[in-house]
Amino acid sequence: MSGTSADGIDACLVEISGNGLHTRINVLVSETYPYDETTRTAILDTCNPETGTVDKVCQLNFHLGKLFANAATSIANKAHISIKDIDLIGSHGQTIYHLPNQTTMEKTEDRSRESNSNTVDIDAFKKETWDLPHSRSTLQIGEPSVIAQETGVTTVADFRPRDMAAGGQGAPLVPYVDFLLFRDKEKGRALQNIGGIANVTILPKNCSINDVIAFDTGPGNMIIDRITELVTNTTQHFDESGKLAERGKIHDSLLAALLAHPYLSKPPPKTTGREEFGISFADNLYKDGTHSGIKDLDILATVTAFTARSIADSYKHWILPKHPLPEIILSGGGSHNNTLIKFLKQYLEPSIQIHTINKFGISPNAKEALAFAILANETISGNPNNIPSATGAREAVIMGKIIPGRL
């Protein structure tokens, strides 16, 4: 799994027995293999419509396939298991572009403009469009044929397109796995992942699969990471433990402008990504903020609060009125950001307990890689593995393309 933060490949080796509601897991080892600076820059450039030319997409697709194959071999070696003894590889790939709702093709235009006010112009972050029918689409790269060829192991990859073909948004996909692993007869739970984008799965008490609620709450680490790069002159790619944001103060008018983003008021099912909250958004935000006289660390503290507040507000608007929520289980890189978690606790009701997924023997960084191993197992078992109520699909479908290993 390589997420929207594009910081590296999360790999997980897991023993799986059974499938569907009878799935049982034993996580053996997990690891994150960081990208070198050249690869990370190539990914971010390729995700940008202004620089992501077709030759870059083509080359990066095969390059990442090789890196994913190396990660699979490395995680097997870490457990002292031969890659020849691995039955199956599940690969989400690297999302390059995701257009879950579009009926038009986007044309990027920088509308940022200088302002002497202390507010940020949210219109600076919008895009122009022109009509092109049937352009709902998604693209993940990291060629699975390369993975299967390099490792010799049958590979299941590219899960999102089948859900979108069935009328869904192609995300979120992890809620199916959350349902298999974390449903509880006695209490409701929220599984909150904070990666580049933040997403939540709500499992009401004693729920069936049709009761599951899931959606992207909004930005996760994506804006925080980019602002960290800007305020540290790229000496840091993320705010470790939230130490920099802790030194800043929340700027109320900037936070209010960010909370006016239209995605946040859109009801589920919904997904978002780099297209809305990526580098262009963060760069324009930083430019307007500094021009308005906001200090660097105050901008960082404010965007950290923005992620926390967007999560908490999502619960208050779409979840808590109907579903009591005694427990939140955190995963993803954002679960290591102490300032972000402090803000989240401040914005939520005090009665809600917050734990990390470590409580269940799963590393926060390995959760999504584990999920795609389980989704691949479901594909091979012939089980539908999306949740239409979460993605908006017309029906349950079997997601994932199967690439046979070497004979």
The separation between the first and the last C-alpha atoms of the chain, rounded to the nearest angstrom, is 26
User: Residue 127 pLDDT > 60, yes or no?
Assistant: no
User: Residue 134 pLDDT > 80, yes or no?
Assistant: no
Cα angle 100, 92, 168; round to 5: 25
More confident residue, 120 or 374: 374
Cα angle 132, 135, 138; round to 5: 150
User: Residue 177 pLDDT > 90, yes or no?
Assistant: yes
pLDDT number for residue 132: 63
Of 242, 250, 245, 249, nearest to 337 (Cα)? 242
pLDDT number for residue 113: 45
As a whole-number percent, the residues of the chain with pLDDT over 90 amount to 82
pLDDT number for residue 136: 80
pLDDT number for residue 407: 79
CB 146 within 8 A of CB 391: no
Of 159, 214, 158, nearest to 182 (Cα)? 214
Helix, coil or strand: residue 394:
coil
Six-digit token string for 304? 């950290």
Of 92, 71, 69, 105, nearest to 193 (Cα)? 92
Six-digit token string for 299? 């901008």
Of 309, 370, 307, 330, nearest to 189 (Cα)? 330
Q: What is the pLDDT of residues 41-65, one digit of tens each?
A: 999 999 988 899 999 999 999 999 9
pLDDT number for residue 253: 97
User: Residue 119 pLDDT > 60, yes or no?
Assistant: no
Q: What is the pLDDT of residues 189-246, one digit of tens each?
A: 999 999 999 999 999 999 999 999 999 999 999 999 999 999 999 999 999 999 999 9
- Would you say the C-alpha torsion 106, 108, 109, 114 has a positive or negative sign? positive
User: Residue 170 pLDDT > 80, yes or no?
Assistant: yes
Cβ neighbour number for residue 288 with a 10 Å cutoff: 24
Q: d(Cα 296, Cα 298) in Å, to the nearest integer? A: 5
What residue has token string 């690869």? 39
- Would you say the C-alpha torsion 43, 168, 365, 230 has a positive or negative sign? positive
pLDDT number for residue 112: 44
- Considering only CA atoms, give the Rg of the chain: 20
pLDDT number for residue 274: 85
Query: Residue 324 — very low, low, confident or very high, per pLDDT cuts 50/70/90?
Result: confident
Q: d(Cα 100, Cα 106) in Å, to the nearest integer? A: 13
